[in-house]
């Protein structure tokens, strides 16, 4: 039930009733991997697809809507997010097997999807075990690692448009390319159907163990980080360009370029979102000066500065 008395009156008066949970002024920092960022004006956790669709149908189009997964590849600025922030969990985190297909809710962790595929002897999804995030975000950015990407395994995705219409789009029509998709503006991924292939679980498990070992060896997985900061430019690796520009270990306030993998930014404990973003821009400046290459942010930066 919507607790209207908790909402900021100026926005509460324009929001439709929901069956899920909705609150005002919710701190987002604890929900992000970086552990930084300001609050959400409104945080809405829909009960299911129907609840989400009904809300978007009735929500005025001039109210901004932002969707968050587990915020593993996201930097929320210190001023927070105005409008409505939608976080998918519960029903949206379910995973089921349909023959050689895995049907995963957008809120399902990539690792969980890989483990469910392993449990039923379906190969081809192992790379998801090396991607920190959820399926919804993975589809939106065509996430990939260890030689595979979502585009290689996706059959279709279910979306809810900003107007509240539920649509199914075939994988080939999603416009997936390197860390990019052409989803309709404002559409929210709520489910994806991924294809696997039958194989002995022992062989699948061995590849997943190898991925986990390589990730632990090469990435600062126990730090407050946001995954790969910059996309690899054509014909080059971002981390190598950053290293050659002398940025390994570079600090600004409480933010640091990882010593272990210099395409990762780290919150050493007291960083602000501004520290992390400014450090990233300084890295871009130094790489541009050293190589003439402009690095593009892979981490999404959203919200207002303080």
The pTM is what? 0.90
Report the number of distinct structural domains present in the chain.
3
Is residue 188 within 8 A of residue 160, CB to CB? The reply is: yes
> Does 77 share its domain with 145?
no
Q: Helix (H, G, I), strand (E, B), or coil: what is residue 58?
A: helix
Residue 2: per-residue pLDDT: 39
Residues 14-54: tens digit of each pLDDT: 799 999 999 999 999 999 999 999 999 999 999 999 999 99
Positions marked active-site? 179, 228, 298
Domain around 245: 220-302
> Does 108 share its domain with 202?
yes
Strands of 21-27's sheet in order across:
21-27, 39-45, 81-87, 65-68
CATH of the domain at 45: 3.30.43.10
Does residue 12 register a pLDDT over 80?
Answer: no
- Among candidate residues 227, 272, 264, 257, the one with its CA nearest the CA of residue 80: 272
Residues 149-190: tens digit of each pLDDT: 999 999 999 999 999 999 999 999 999 999 999 999 999 999
Is residue 44 within 8 A of residue 55, CB to CB? The reply is: yes
Residue at which a domain ends, from 171, 199, 217: 217
Residue 9: per-residue pLDDT: 52
> Does 110 share its domain with 71?
no
> Does 213 share its domain with 228?
no
Residues 47-62: tens digit of each pLDDT: 999 999 999 999 999 9
Residues 58-110: tens digit of each pLDDT: 999 999 999 999 999 999 999 999 999 999 999 999 999 999 999 999 999 99
> Does 235 share its domain with 265?
yes
Q: Give CA–CA dist 231/280, Å, rounded.
A: 12
Is residue 115 within 8 A of residue 211, CB to CB? The reply is: no
Residue 1: per-residue pLDDT: 36
Tokens coding 139:
């589809």
Dihedral (CA of 170, 142, 149, 291) sign = positive
What percent of the chain stands above pLDDT 90?
94
pLDDT tier at 3, thresholds 50, 70, 90? very low
> Does 54 share its domain with 71?
yes
Residue at which a domain ends, from 20, 54, 87: 87
The kind and range of the H/E element at 168 are strand 166-170
Tokens coding 46:
């829909």
Residue 56: per-residue pLDDT: 97
**Secondary structure (H, E, C), the chain:** CCCHHHCCHHHHCCCCCCCCEEEEEEECHHHCCCCCCCEEEEEEECCCHHHHHHHHHHCCCCCCEEEECCCCCEEECCCCEEEEEEECCHHHHCEEEECCEEEEECCCEHHHHHHHHHHCCEECCHHHHHCCCEHHHHHHCCCEECCEEHHHCEEEEEEECCCCCEEEEEHHHCCCECCECCCCCCCEEEEEEEECEECCHHHHHHHHHHHHHHHHHHCCCCCEECCCCECCCCCCCHHHHHHHCCCCCCEECCEEECCCCCCCEEECCCCCHHHHHHHHHHHHHHHHHHHCCCCCECCEEECCCC
CATH of the domain at 232: 3.90.78.10
Residue 10: per-residue pLDDT: 72
Residue 14: per-residue pLDDT: 79
């Amino acid at each position: 039930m919507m607790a209207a008395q908790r909402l900021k009156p100026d926005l509460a008066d324009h929001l439709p009733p929901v069956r899920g949970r909705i609150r005002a002024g919710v701190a987002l920092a604890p929900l992000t991997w970086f552990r930084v960022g300001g609050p959400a004006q409104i945080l809405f956790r829909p009960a299911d697809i129907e609840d989400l669709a009904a809300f978007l149908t009735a929500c005025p189009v001039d109210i901004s809507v932002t969707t968050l997964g587990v915020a593993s590849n996201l930097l929320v600025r210190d001023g927070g997010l105005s409008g409505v922030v939608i976080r998918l969990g519960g029903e949206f985190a379910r995973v089921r097997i349909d023959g050689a297909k895995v049907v995963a809710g957008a809120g399902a962790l990539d690792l969980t999807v890989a483990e469910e595929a392993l449990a039923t002897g379906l190969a081809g999804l192992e790379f998801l075990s090396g991607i920190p995030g959820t399926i919804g975000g993975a589809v939106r950015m065509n996430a990939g690692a260890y030689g595979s990407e979502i585009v290689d395994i996706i059959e279709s995705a279910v979306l809810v448009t900003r107007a509240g219409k539920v649509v199914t789009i075939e994988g080939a029509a999603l416009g997936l390319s390197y860390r990019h998709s052409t989803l309709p503006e404002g559409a929210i991924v709520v489910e994806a159907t991924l294809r696997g292939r039958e194989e002995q679980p022992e062989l699948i498990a061995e590849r997943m163990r190898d991925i986990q070992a390589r990730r632990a060896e090469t990435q600062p997985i126990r730090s407050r980080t946001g995954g790969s900061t910059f996309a690899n430019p054509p014909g080059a690796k971002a981390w190598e360009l950053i290293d050659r520009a002398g940025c390994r270990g570079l600090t600004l306030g409480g933010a640091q370029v990882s010593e272990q993998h210099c395409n990762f930014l780290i919150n050493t404990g007291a960083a602000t979102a501004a520290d992390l973003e400014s450090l990233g821009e300084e890295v871009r400046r130094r790489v541009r000066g050293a190589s003439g290459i402009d690095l593009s942010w892979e981490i999404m930066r959203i919200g207002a500065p303080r």
